[in-house]
Chains A and B, each alone.
Chain A
Amino acid sequence: MTEQSFLSVRGIRKSFGPVKVLHGVDLDLPRGSVTALLGENGAGKSTFVRILAGDHQPDAGTIAIEGVETSFRTVVQSRDAGIRLIAQEIADAPTLSVAENIALGALPSRFGFVDRHAMREVARKALDALGADIAVDAPVSSLRLGERQIIEIARATAGASQCLIFDEPTAALSDAETRRLFTLIKRMQEAGVAILYITHRLDEVFAIADRVCVLRDGKVSLNAAIAEVDQAQVVTAMVGHAVASDHYRYEFVSKGADPLLEVAQLGSEHFEDVDLTVEPGEIVGLYGKIGSGVPEFAAALFGAGQFDSGTLRLGGEAVKFGHPAEAIAKGIGYLPADRASEGLLRTRTVAENLAAPSWTRLANGPFVAPGIEANTFKKWHSVLKVRSRPDGSEQISTLSGGNQQKVLLGRWLEAGSKLLVLVEPTRGVDVGARQEIYAVLRDLAQQGHGILIASSDYEDITEAATSAAVMVRGRVVAHLTQDQISTERLTQAAGGGAHA
């Protein structure tokens, strides 16, 4: 199968200081094929593709383009060989226009001056190919995240590329944008481009890939044609053991208890007329893609955002919070969507991150006794299965995404919050840790917590929720009971109104 490969790598090794990230990776990317690259966080995927893109240099191993051994010392050399990486982090120039961003690095010029006409033409063509309706003269800073991701893709696909590497391209895209991206990938594939596609989502793998390669601990643990494997095999290759996906169901039966949260006719510029209740022991899933208003609604419950109309009742009492501190005092805990910018106190320890909302209670007057945060953390370390030191004395930024998320969840358990509002609780969390988080949520519900999961990832809803609502463009378009919750129902409801 390897004789016609466009790109072929053998025995790639890479270490960062004492940490070995890749120990001998082999991979072939044939022309006209889509290879899915999977692996948990920390498996070495991003390091590997950065080596292909010339961003990192391997310590050992060879890279061959059409059988000719080569080496990329810079990003430019890799690009000249026809390889383009669409990185996960958006690296655009926000103050420049869409056209300038797409042409970045390959500006068409005449007599040494930028040929603005040609530049806009190139940009328009690249965007048309993606079916994206974005004005080429708009400054990139005025676009939303998903559109900026499309600009990144357009930049890579505008040139004549031989090999495209996508690093989780759909994380910020809507359903419709994702479908158009898949169409483009298929077209590129038919044109003979070799494609490497990194993702966390198994459904995407089986939708577009014809080969699958799994990295675990810096080694290839599975490399096969897609027809030869099933989902369970891929997951096993990723985590190293079979993951119990018995879909353990936590059944919630209303005991007629007073609801913790009652929302009636809540409205703001991002959502309107939202009705919702959460009873103790209930896990309500609120599903919505980008632009649905789901995260804004969740933020408004916590006083981190606003609502203009309607009523919000907590334990029967009508409330409106001006600051998250007021919501916390009323027993609400909140997990924000973006861990990095809204959740983590990066320079501080794990224990301090967990104790933060509870400082006033843990302290003795104004004084925080030495060691009290470590002792507090010890209580939750095993309950939440956080892989850290038992006293949580390391910086939070050294933990993996899933463990960070457990610590941020632990914050509200220590704070004694009865109602948990969790936005994108498993974003950037790998397969194994996901299941652990779902298990914790079920336990919490069993103990009488009320949980609201606000997510654009249907797996959060199908795995954990005991009832669900779907929002489209700020409105609830469907309410589902536990028996009605399924991937199909959710995506159907979310897609139905959005593009009608």
Chain B
Amino acid sequence: MPEQAPTTMSNIDAGRVTSRAGRRLKAPEWGALLLFLLAEIVFFSFNSPYFLTWPNGVNIVTALSITGILAAGGTILLIAGQFDLSVGSGTAFVALSFALAAQSLGIIPAVGIALLVGVGIGVLNGFLVTVVGVNALITTLGTLAIFRGLTLSIGGASSVRVTGFDWAIARPFFDIPMSAIVFLLIALVVAVVLSRTIFGRTIYAIGANENAARLVGIRTKRTLFFAFVISGLCMAATGLVSASQLGSTSGTTGVGLELAVVTAIILGGTSLKGGTGSMFGTILGLLIVGVLNNGMTLMNINSTWQQVAAGMLLILAVSFDQIRQRFIRS
């Protein structure tokens, strides 16, 4: 099958059908996400008078800023057909490196070290995937374990305090904290990079067909390596945000973030196969989960149930998409 040209009748027919219907359904496909988000908002506004207020809106965005920063890097990777599962433990390891360095060297050198550690994790992942050729899922599953283990063994059981580094909770404009502003800026940059730059084009091209991308002159490995480094940079950012928000860091910082990140990206319409997706979609995905969690908290629903809801939401969204595609085909 892989060696065969795609020109059998049925493929072409199916292609025509999906595309024609796809054209019609393109807008509603995004619309579906938006609609769902609106439905959530309407539902929770009726259930809590506090829900539809400016401070609560700020809360929602602030709560998803760490997940969002990582999802920005993750969107680039998933569009290129790659994964990074090491983002949660990477965040914890960056935060610990920063906290320890800050105690002995001071804040400014420690920020530099945090950036180096984040980039280092990205370089390691990128090296293993593009130079050694280990599958990204396995590579980052391995580095997930390694950096979680390192964080726990170096940091010990207790948390490490960070003092004099509370910039992320400062609220310079409209009562919005810096952590949310950093997220929004990074999301904006990634959105522009993906839709308006050569680098973004090459990311989509690699995700669409890595072979073909190489044959139009794209340095595919170099590009993928760089995408992993971007993900590492995002970990550096989230490590710093996390340490600043909490004023400390511990072995459990960032546990499970990788799942929240992947959930948001896929919910936002990026295909696991790569080649499609956008930062705007990811933001919608983040908001859908974020609003759900926030609303449930306001309704006094236990946070453990929020996990159940987020998991069901992901499966529902993807099943819905599968069913819709099958419906279009037949």
* Chain A interface residues (CB < 8 Å from chain B): 16-19, 21, 41-47, 50, 88-91, 145, 167, 172, 302, 304, 323-325, 328-329, 334, 336, 338-348, 352, 356-357, 359-360, 363, 366-370, 394-395, 397-398, 400-401, 411, 427-429
Binds A, one of B48-56, B114-122, B205-213: B205-213
B208 close to A347 (CB less than 8 A):
yes
A145: chain B residues within 8 A (beta carbon): 3
Judge if B14 is at the interface, Cβ distance under 8 Å. Answer: yes
Of chain A, the residue at the smallest CB distance from B206 is: A345
10 smallest A-B Cβ distances: which pairs?
A: A46-B9, A428-B7, A347-B275, A340-B6, A401-B7, A398-B19, A325-B217, A428-B5, A345-B208, A328-B217
A91 close to B209 (CB less than 8 A):
no
30 contacts across the A-B interface (CB closer than 8 A):
A17-B17, A17-B328, A41-B12, A42-B9, A42-B12, A46-B9, A47-B13, A90-B1, A304-B215, A324-B214, A325-B219, A329-B217, A336-B215, A339-B7, A341-B211, A342-B209, A342-B211, A345-B209, A346-B208, A347-B271, A348-B205, A352-B201, A360-B198, A363-B197, A367-B196, A368-B198, A368-B200, A401-B6, A411-B216, A428-B7
Given A17-B328, A339-B5, A347 and B204 contact (CB-CB distance below 8 Å): yes
With beta carbons under 8 angstroms apart, the residue of B21, B209, B213 that contacts A17 is B21
Tell me the chain B residues, 212-252 only, with Cβ under 8 Å from chain A. 212-219
Tell me the chain B residues, 1-60 only, with Cβ under 8 Å from chain A. 1-10, 12-17, 19-23
A345: chain B residues within 8 A (beta carbon): 204-205, 208-209, 212-213, 275
A294 to chain B, nearest CB (A): 16
Known: A341-B211, A352-B201, A398-B15. 14 other contacts (CB 8 A): A16-B330, A17-B21, A88-B4, A172-B3, A323-B217, A341-B3, A341-B212, A342-B212, A356-B213, A356-B216, A359-B202, A367-B196, A401-B5, A401-B7
B1 close to A348 (CB less than 8 A):
no
A390 to chain B, nearest CB (A): 16
Given A46-B10, A89-B8, A16 and B198 contact (CB-CB distance below 8 Å): no
B95 to chain A, nearest CB (A): 31
A329: chain B residues within 8 A (beta carbon): 217
A334: chain B residues within 8 A (beta carbon): 215
A106 to B10, CA, bound (A): 26
A323 to B329, CA, bound (A): 39
A89 close to B196 (CB less than 8 A):
no
Among B3, B15, B22, B329, chain A packs the most CB atoms within 10 A around the CB of B3
A50: chain B residues within 8 A (beta carbon): 10
A368 close to B8 (CB less than 8 A):
no
A89: chain B residues within 8 A (beta carbon): 1, 4, 8
Judge if B165 is at the interface, Cβ distance under 8 Å. Answer: no
Judge if B130 is at the interface, Cβ distance under 8 Å. Answer: no
Given A42-B13, A345-B208, A367-B197, A91 and B5 contact (CB-CB distance below 8 Å): no
A18 close to B20 (CB less than 8 A):
yes
B20: chain A residues within 8 A (beta carbon): 17-19, 398
A342 close to B215 (CB less than 8 A):
yes
A145 to B148, CA, bound (A): 46
Given A16-B329, A17-B329, A356-B201, A88 and B8 contact (CB-CB distance below 8 Å): yes
Give the secondary structure class of B's interface.
helix
A47: chain B residues within 8 A (beta carbon): 9-10, 13
* Chain B interface residues (CB < 8 Å from chain A): 1-10, 12-17, 19-23, 196-202, 204-205, 207-209, 211-219, 271, 275-276, 328-330
A440 to B276, CA, bound (A): 33
B14: chain A residues within 8 A (beta carbon): 16
A19 close to B205 (CB less than 8 A):
no
B19 close to A366 (CB less than 8 A):
no
With beta carbons under 8 angstroms apart, the residue of A90, A172, A360, A370 that contacts B196 is A370
A145 to B2, CA, bound (A): 10
A287 to chain B, nearest CB (A): 19
A119 to B279, CA, bound (A): 54
Of chain A, the residue at the smallest CB distance from B273 is: A347
A43 close to B9 (CB less than 8 A):
yes
Of chain B, the residue at the smallest CB distance from A339 is: B5
B4: chain A residues within 8 A (beta carbon): 88-90, 338, 340
B198 close to A46 (CB less than 8 A):
no
A358 to chain B, nearest CB (A): 9
A324 to B218, CA, bound (A): 8
A359 close to B201 (CB less than 8 A):
yes
B215 close to A394 (CB less than 8 A):
no
A16 close to B17 (CB less than 8 A):
yes
With beta carbons under 8 angstroms apart, the residue of A336, A341, A348, A429 that contacts B204 is A348
B201 to chain A, nearest CB (A): 6
Of chain B, the residue at the smallest CB distance from A412 is: B216
B214: chain A residues within 8 A (beta carbon): 304, 323-324
A420 to chain B, nearest CB (A): 13
B213: chain A residues within 8 A (beta carbon): 345, 356
A401 to B330, CA, bound (A): 23
A316 to chain B, nearest CB (A): 23
B17 close to A19 (CB less than 8 A):
yes
With beta carbons under 8 angstroms apart, the residue of A363, A394, A429 that contacts B198 is A363
B198: chain A residues within 8 A (beta carbon): 359-360, 363, 366-368
B178 to chain A, nearest CB (A): 28
A323: chain B residues within 8 A (beta carbon): 214, 217, 219
A409 to chain B, nearest CB (A): 13
B64 to chain A, nearest CB (A): 27
A106 to chain B, nearest CB (A): 21
B3 close to A338 (CB less than 8 A):
yes
A172 to chain B, nearest CB (A): 7
B8 close to A357 (CB less than 8 A):
no
Of chain B, the residue at the smallest CB distance from A43 is: B9
A172: chain B residues within 8 A (beta carbon): 3
A341 close to B13 (CB less than 8 A):
no
With beta carbons under 8 angstroms apart, the residue of B5, B23, B197 that contacts A366 is B197
A366 to B12, CA, bound (A): 35
A340 to B205, CA, bound (A): 14
A366: chain B residues within 8 A (beta carbon): 197-199
A47 to B17, CA, bound (A): 14
A46 close to B276 (CB less than 8 A):
no
Given A325-B219, A347-B275, A356-B216, A46 and B201 contact (CB-CB distance below 8 Å): no
Of chain B, the residue at the smallest CB distance from A168 is: B8
B10: chain A residues within 8 A (beta carbon): 46-47, 50
